[in-house]
Structure 1
Amino acid sequence: MQRFLSAVLIGIASITLSTSALAQGSTGSDQLREFVRNSKTAEGDFVQQQLRAPKVNEPQDKGLKVVRQTQGHFVFQRPGRFVWDTQKPYEQKLIANGNQLILWDKDLNQATFRPAGQALASTPAAILFGENSLDQHFDLIDGEERLGMKWVALVPKKDPNAKKQNDLPYTKISIGMSNGLPKALELMDGLGSVVLVTLDKIQLNVNLPANRFNFTPPAGAEVLRLN
């Protein structure tokens, strides 16, 4: 699985992220903590792939198969505000404004509003951009170096007072760091499916307009409000 993910990353267009003042010798977890502390706002481009294991009637030597790929632009402002703007192959926006999580689907002409909560926490964007302190919710474990990135596993911390533990739908969360910036995110579930996100052209601490995370459905759109 890891060899295939490496091959997928190689096949994606090369990523030219800005360098930071972090020393090359810093661990991946140190780089990730520093990124979270210092990045109040940012924007850039993303490619997101949904991967799965081959079915019984498919060749088993090809590793995981790409079943869906999207790409677009992201913007975030800590804590908990972001726009995950999918532009290809369809237009769809996922918007977190601090109170609500909004999904806008242009083809369906439909906007779905729900309270920010566990639905927000399970999104790749929120894992990268939602928390001011990852250490409050995750143990950061340094892993291997691959493709010029230092990988960090995020293991949800156990809360002895919680009625349920780790409601996230992923069995493994890893972030690839290089030069102080996240370049890739791998999310694996218990069924062998993988979400792989690569980030490009990140600009840190950009000035954002006050209404950047507001969204008003266009006239005639279907609006769903979920509790």
Structure 2
Amino acid sequence: MTTFKERLFSNAMRTLIAFNLIFISVTSHADEATESLIRQLEKLQSIEAHFVQYVVDKAGTSVQESRGILKAKRPGLFYWHTEPPLEQVIVSDGHNVIVYDPDLEQATVQPVTEQLSNTPALLFSGDVKKLGESYLVHHKNWDKTINQYVLMPRGADSLFESLRLRFDSDILVEMRLTDSLGQKSTIGFNDAKINSGMTDKQFEFIIPEGTDVIRELGQ
């Protein structure tokens, strides 16, 4: 049986992978919906926001609620800080992912290229030239400002059954993920700052002294 901490880590990693679709270089020859999504993503070079994440299982039972801060910058920079009581920090520089658990005084360092390259979403540092070959994209807009895109993976080995992105006036306001077990994650973003000129130094993370560091093969 997985612990709450393990579920928190798993959900955060799925979110990290989903953001790979957003903070990469996106160029593709595809259908109208895919091209519309590409144009939307090209406007989003960086984001800083507070988030609220709700996760329910297949039966609709709540299994997790968390809040925190997200920072992401194209290409490859990602910072996800879940607030106490189950505090956790996940940082990616496009090459490595650091998962730091202050309660356990433990940090795991994983090479991005080995841990995430086989996922349907390519790496932060990747170049998606064939987005339409990996995903079916459906586009719906309710008015001039609100656009929704649903990405359905073409391959059977995806971590997701679907990924929904909703934009309001070019600002990402919500992301919904459904995994292969029917678990659904809804992440709402507020106080978002888009393309605010964040520097790479804002994504630097120093593992605190005395932390037990676990390094995966390839480090």
Q: TM above 0.5, one fold? A: yes
Q: 1:108 to 1:176 in 2, by over 3 A?
A: same
Give distance in 2, aligned partners of 1:76 and 1:116.
16
CA separation of 1:96/1:139 partners in 2, compared to 1, >3 Å: closer, same or farther?
same
Q: Which has the larger radius of gyration?
A: 1
Instruction: Report if aligned partners of 2:95, 2:111 keep a CA contact under 8 Å in 1.
Output: yes
Structure 2 counterpart of 1:48, from 47, 53, 58: 53
Which structure would you say has the larger RCO, counting Cα contacts within 8 Å and 6 or more residues apart?
1
RMSD: 3.4
Following TM superposition, by how much is the alpha carbon of 1:195 offset from its aligned partner in structure 2, in angstroms?
1.3
Structure 2 gap segments, 5+ residues each: 1-31
1:82 to 75, 78, 84: 78
Describe the shift of the 1:35–1:150 C-alpha distance in structure 2 as closer, same or farther (beyond 3 A): closer
Structure 2 equivalent of residue 197 of structure 1: 187
Q: Which residue of 1 aligns with 2:92?
A: 96
User: In 2, Cα distance between the equivalents of 1:203 and 1:196?
Assistant: 20
Alpha-carbon distance between aligned partners in 2 of 1:66 and 1:122, rounded to the nearest angstrom: 29
- Aligned CA distance change for structure 1 residues 131 and 185 (closer, same or farther; 3 Å): farther
Structure 1 letter corresponding to 2:93: N
Q: Identity over aligned residues, as a percent? A: 24
Deviation string, structure 1 residues 25-67 (Cα, Å, up to 9, x no partner):
xx9867643331122222011111211133xxxxxxxxx1211
Find the aligned partners of 2:150 and 2:117 in 1 and give their Cα distance: 17
User: What code does the residue aligned with 1:75 have?
Assistant: K
Query: Residues 45 and 212 from structure 1, CA distance in 2 versus in 1: closer, same or farther, beyond 3 angstroms?
Result: same
Indicate which of 101, 105, 125 corresponds to 1:105.
101
Q: 3-state SS of the aligned residue for 1:33?
A: helix
Secondary structure of the residue that 2:200 maps to in structure 1?
Answer: coil
Q: 1:162 — aligned with what? A: none
Q: 1:219 aligns with which of 206, 209, 219?
A: 209
Q: Tell me if the contact between 2:153 and 2:162 (Cα under 8 Å) persists in the aligned partners.
A: no
Once residues 119 and 32 of structure 1 are traced to their aligned partners in structure 2, the CA distance between those partners, rounded to angstroms, is: 26
| Matched-pair contact (CA < 8 Å) for 2:76–2:125 | yes
The answer to whether the 8 Å contact 1:110/1:223 transfers is yes
AA aligned opposite 1:100: N
The two structures have a TM-score, normalised by structure 1, of 0.67
Q: Distance in 2 between matches of 1:176 and 1:134?
A: 22
Matching of residues 1-227 of structure 1 within 5 Å? 32-54=37-59, 64-117=60-113, 119-120=115-116, 135=131, 137-143=134-140, 150-157=147-154, 165=155, 167-227=157-217
In the superposition, the TM-score normalised over structure 2's length comes to 0.69
In 1: Cα distance, 2:63 partner to 2:79 partner: 24
Taking structure 1 as reference, are residues 75 and 92 closer, same or farther at Cα in structure 2, changes over 3 Å only? same
In the aligned structure 2, how far is the partner of 1:95 from the partner of 1:182?
20
Query: Quick check: 67-76 or 126-135, which moved more?
Result: 126-135
Number of aligned pairs?
183
Letter of the 1:115 partner, please give it.
Answer: P
